[in-house]
Amino acid sequence: MKINRVILFGLFLLSVVSPTVAFGGGECKPAYLSLGVMLPLWSCIPFWCMLFSIALFPLFAPDFWHHHFGKISFFWAASLAVPCLIVYRGLALYEILHIIIIDYIPFIILLWSLYAVSGGILLRGTLVGTPLVNTCMLVVGTLLASWMGTTGAAMLMIRPFLRANSHRKHRAFMVVFFIFLIANVGGGLTPLGDPPLFLGFLHGVPFFWTFNIAPHLILVAGLLLVCYFFMDAYHYRHEKHKKIDPKDKVPLGLEGKHNFLFIAAIVGAVFMSGMVDWGEVSVFGVHTSVQDLVRNGLLLMIGTLSIVTTPITVYEENNFTWAPIVEVAYLFIGIFITMIPCLLILKAGSNGALSFFINSVQQPAHYFWSTGIFSSFLDNAPTYLTYFNTALGKFYSSCPEPDAVSRLIAENPIYLKAISAGSVFFGACSYIGNAPNFMVRSIAEEAGTPMPSFFGYILKYTFVFLIPIFAIVTFIFF
């Protein structure tokens, strides 16, 4: 469990003074619009270089990547930040501080707290990963995702899932479907499931309105589960299995059960931060909400209490290390900073370099796919807000937001369904499409499961399974 504790501790201390727009914090300033209007499309090149680095270095230079991925991430972040600071000065500085304070640090805090708490839950006993057992575990995780968040459900379920299948030869596809279902699709039922739906809730969408996309979720999850079961059954038949002596079977049991209370406390802290308004403070010129400061402090406290109150033997038997969260922390600072031009251009709408794309979005199917495409590689929370506001402006440009949201739900709900489903479902299309995806991959690889590369994931699984299923969803619903 040797890590650079100084770096992590510094990040967590700094995070106490920073909220997240994904959970209701922050102030939308007009600066992003002016900078988004000025930025050319080629300013997104560092972001794509960052993605290509994640995709290609592990394939062609794995040893170099393993030892230097943090330096590569910081290099691409600097290649965007330094020129922008020279050219745009104050505007660029504000946007960099904004995405670090409002998005990145709280993102790491939430992942850290859930990672620490879930690592203290140990499922003992003999659980054999047969096709039926695995499918049932995926169903349970998918159901949990909407109520404890995709990140919470993924962190809770991934270790028992990997341990149950440690004897299996073909495991990569299992983890990919785990990402599809538990880390993404399952979060579409309530605002607690995924940040973009929580943003909608904060902007006036009723809490239980998202049940309106339950038919979409059931269809996608059902088709994925059927595909998974037949794939698992095929591989299971062609693998050799050791018979377990009934005397060697260990009854199922849980250790660290008190950590379920901590998971509930994390969900409650996130929900609280969106339900109350305790005013704002300014941190380095970025307006942050007091409730978000409180939430961040609570998450740090909850994670720390979990570590202190959980026996070290539980973490050891869970093969728990800090390596996956360190990898995510290093890589996502590069991703968040280099994606700034992409997000600003997208937010600029018809005034930005992507106006040709934004203006072409007219029909519900367009909203579903365009929201989804950007959510596959960018932060799905601001993508949701962009198209949410696009829809409001399209139909009710002269109405105050509360009235416009109510009318959109009453008169044109199909557009909101398309935006909601697209922002949640398409997060499964890449490792960086949603917060837990990369974490699940890192945990799986650390446990000895060889995972597909960045592009291998997209070519072998996204194009083969997700895109056809999303086409069916479009045909039936949009």
The closest of 380, 393, 466 to 151, measured between CA atoms, is 380
pLDDT of amino acid 11: 40
- What whole-number distance in Å separates Cα of residue 347 and Cα of residue 354? 9
Report the length, in residues, of the chain.
Answer: 478
Contacts of 91 (CB under 8 A, 6+ apart): 31, 34, 35
Please give the pLDDT value at position 344.
81
Say what the pTM is: 0.79
Would you write out the chain's pLDDT as a tens digit for each of its 478 residues?
A: 444 443 443 444 333 333 333 333 333 344 444 787 888 889 889 988 988 888 788 878 888 988 898 999 999 999 999 999 998 888 889 889 988 888 788 878 888 888 888 888 887 766 777 899 999 999 999 998 988 888 888 888 888 899 888 888 888 999 999 999 999 999 998 887 888 888 788 777 888 899 999 999 999 999 999 999 999 999 888 887 666 655 556 666 778 889 889 988 988 888 888 788 888 888 888 888 888 889 889 999 999 999 999 999 888 887 788 888 888 889 888 988 998 888 788 777 777 787 777 778 889 999 999 999 988 887 677 778 778 878 877 787 667 767 888 889 999 999 999 999 999 999 999 988 887 888 899 889 888 888 998 889 999 999 999 999 999 999 999 9
Q: Which residues pair with 286 in a beta bridge?
A: 283
Instruction: Give the pLDDT of residue 27.
Output: 39
In sequence order, which residues have a C-beta less than 8 Å from that of residue 113 and are 6 or more positions away? 266, 299, 300, 302, 303, 306
Q: What contacts 430, CB < 8 A, 6 or more positions away?
A: 376, 377, 437, 454, 457, 458, 462
Cα–Cα distance measured from residue 123 to residue 255, given in angstroms and rounded to the nearest whole number: 7
351 backbone dihedrals φ, ψ, rounded to 5°:
-95, -5
User: What tens digit of pLDDT does each residue of 397-410 get?
Assistant: 667 767 888 889 99
pLDDT at 246: 58
Q: Is 123 helix (H, G, I), strand (E, B) or coil?
A: strand
Model pLDDT, residue 113:
87
Residue partners of 167: CB distance under 8 A and separation at least 6: 128, 129, 241, 242
Q: Residue 461: what pLDDT?
A: 95
> Which residue pairs from 47-51 have beta carbons closer than 8 angstroms and sit at least 24 positions apart in sequence?
47/76, 47/80, 47/335, 47/338, 47/339, 47/341, 47/342, 49/76, 49/79, 49/338, 50/76, 50/77, 50/334, 50/335, 50/338, 51/335, 51/377, 51/432, 51/454
334 Rama class: left (phi>0) / alpha (psi -120 to 50) / beta: alpha
**Is residue 289 helix, strand or coil?**
strand
Sole residue written with tokens 């026996």: 311
Task: Quickly count: other Cβ atoms within 10 Å of residue 44's Cβ.
Answer: 21
Contact 149, 192 (CB under 8 A): yes
| Predicted local confidence at residue 125, as pLDDT | 65
3-state secondary structure of 373: helix
pLDDT tens-digit map of 108-136:
888 888 888 888 888 776 677 789 999 99
Q: At what angle do helices 45-60 and 323-338 cross, to 10 degrees?
A: 150
Start-to-end CA distance of the chain, whole Å, equals 49
